[in-house]
Structure 1
């Protein structure tokens, strides 16, 4: 079963994804205002059971996808996490000793099938397809061998980046990564039940049908367990936190000349076993 957050007629819901639309479940569980609270209470199985007895409440065309966890405490992104991506930096390192991290704000993301926004101050909006890990069980100083037990679900991200703003300052990328509506997460979350769901899965990004990025999670420099363990050494992970785990080579900035996104483009990020996140592009 897949679960999503969506809006319809000015109201926000969460529910199960079904053939033909959505099965709204949030009204049935008022003690859990969002999927964040569902995850914190280990309630995804209860949602699954409830969905089995209900029909579609919101047919396709009557709702808009939102980001799956609408109010996460933290969204932490891992940079330069595939070998070919690391090689692009030509700094002589075979692999970094420690992972590169930066935060993103929820407002910088939209849901599935909602256009990405190219800001007025730049024409360098780029795509980055990534796997998203949603934390289910929080903790601090989580051991790597225990880390996968802290995952509640998986999702997909297009970690849209405004390239020239990434280099505005000497040591940080935060501003280039946080323009309103420049990235997307979704369409839904898939409950995490088995390590095989992430150990060796295919990740592919397409722009207007052309494959731009393609790699497998088994080639990540820092795997998902290592990411959770490292991040939890300096901050307490809580249910609903999202870790955006790294993108392969092939972003538009690395073409010669660079090929950035423009209005009318359609970006699809596909993650094996999770689904396809699709967004068009519009100008602010």
Structure 2
């Protein structure tokens, strides 16, 4: 059983994704949201109560949301695969510390929702990544205990607007936070069901063409190290999302670059976690 947040019959809900459809937990439990369930350690209770229940909704009848739409923090990791460091062609040694930045909730949509191609740029790019969903509060977490603070894993297309990432001298915030430019989902797989973490194989496809592929075991900063480092300066809270970095092969690294255009379909997949898929559409321009 995997956990998701979704919209159906005009209401925002959360529940369990199973073989026969989606079981709605929002009306059956005392938890207000998936984040609330995670924070209160309610996964066991929720699953026990759902084992014999029929599905409330078919997958075609729901609109996927970001699995934890009310996350307190979305922390993203920059260069985290050795080939990515080499892409910069600056002769630099491998980094001693991870590069980090924050993203807003509004910059992400759920599985199956449209990614917005902004009119301000022709350099809209894709980045397939694995996401850690924090399960319990922690500050200055030792690496040896780091995975005890993880509830589960999900996937991300950490969409980027490349030229806007270079507007500032010391940050990438602008290019990483266009509304609906990235996606997270489709659901959260509990940590104990995700398999061997170092063997997770991440693949990103654009219109069915394989563009990125690598193993989590090759990360320069593995999951435990990221959790320990990040929790040194900020308390990690239940439902926080850590987007752990993308392999080589994003559109900007081709010669010439291969940026996304309207109609493109981006698919991020990891066996044992699932597949996240979104179509790119032109963003309507608002004058408000």
Given the two structures, how large is their TM-score scaled by the length of structure 2?
0.96
How far off is 1:122 after superposition?
Answer: 1.1
* Most deviating of 126-135 and 85-94: 85-94
CA distance in 2, matches of 1:195, 1:266: 25
Quick check: 1:87–1:94 contact (8 Å CA) kept in 2? Answer: no
Superposed, which structure 2 residues align to 1:120-199 within 5 Å? Answer: 120-193=119-192, 196-199=195-198
User: Which residue of 1 is the match for residue 286 of structure 2?
Assistant: none
The answer as to 2:260 corresponding to 1:261 is: yes
Q: Give per-residue Cα distances to partners, 1:223-263, cap 9 Å, x unaligned.
A: 00000000001000010000000100000001111111111
Partner of 1:13: 13
8 Å CA contact retained: 2:202, 2:213: yes
Deviation at 1:194, TM superposition (A): 6.6
User: 2:144 touches 2:224 (CA, 8 Å); kept in 1?
Assistant: yes
SS at match of 1:145: helix
Contact 2:195 2:272 in 1 (8 A): no
Give yes or no for the alignment of 1:116 onto 2:112: no
Q: 1:194 to 1:54 in 2, by over 3 A?
A: closer
- Paired with 2:194 and 2:267, the residues of 1 have a C-alpha distance of 25
Write the mapping of 1:240-279 to structure 2, written as runs, cut at 5 A.
240-279=239-278
- Structure-2 residue corresponding to 1:4: 4
Q: What secondary structure, in the 3-state scheme, does the structure 2 residue paired with 1:122 have?
A: coil
Query: What are the Cα deviations for residues 60-91 of structure 1, in whole angstroms up to 9, with x where unaligned?
Result: 32110000001010000000100101101122
Aligned residues: 283
Deviations 1:81-104 (A, max 9, x none): 001011011222231011100001
Q: Which runs of 5+ in 1 are unaligned?
A: none
**Equivalents in 2 of 1:195, 1:184: separation in Å?**
20
For 1:81 and 1:241, the matched residues in 2 are separated by: 19
* Equivalent residue, structure 2, for 1:208: 207
- Tell me, in whole angstroms, the C-alpha distance in 2 between the residues paired with 1:32 and 1:8: 18
Q: Which residue of 2 aligns with 1:219?
A: 218
Could you list the runs of 5+ residues in structure 2 that have no partner in the other structure? Answer: 284-288
Secondary structure (helix, strand or coil) at the match of 2:278 reads strand
Structure 1 CA distance for aligned equivalents of residues 33 and 196 of structure 2? 24
Check whether the contact 2:159–2:183 (CA below 8 A) recurs between aligned residues.
Answer: yes
The CA distance in 2 between the partners of 1:45 and 1:118, in whole Å, is 40
Give the structure-1-normalised TM-score: 0.97
State the match for 1:281 in structure 2.
280
Where do 4+ consecutive residues of structure 1 move more than 3 Å? Answer: 194-197
Aligned partner of 1:57 in structure 2 is 56
Question: Aligned Cα RMSD in Å?
Answer: 1.2
Q: 1:125, 1:163 within 8 Å by CA — same for their partners in 2?
A: yes
The answer to whether the aligner puts 1:75 opposite 2:88 as a matched pair is no
Contact 2:194 2:273 in 1 (8 A): no
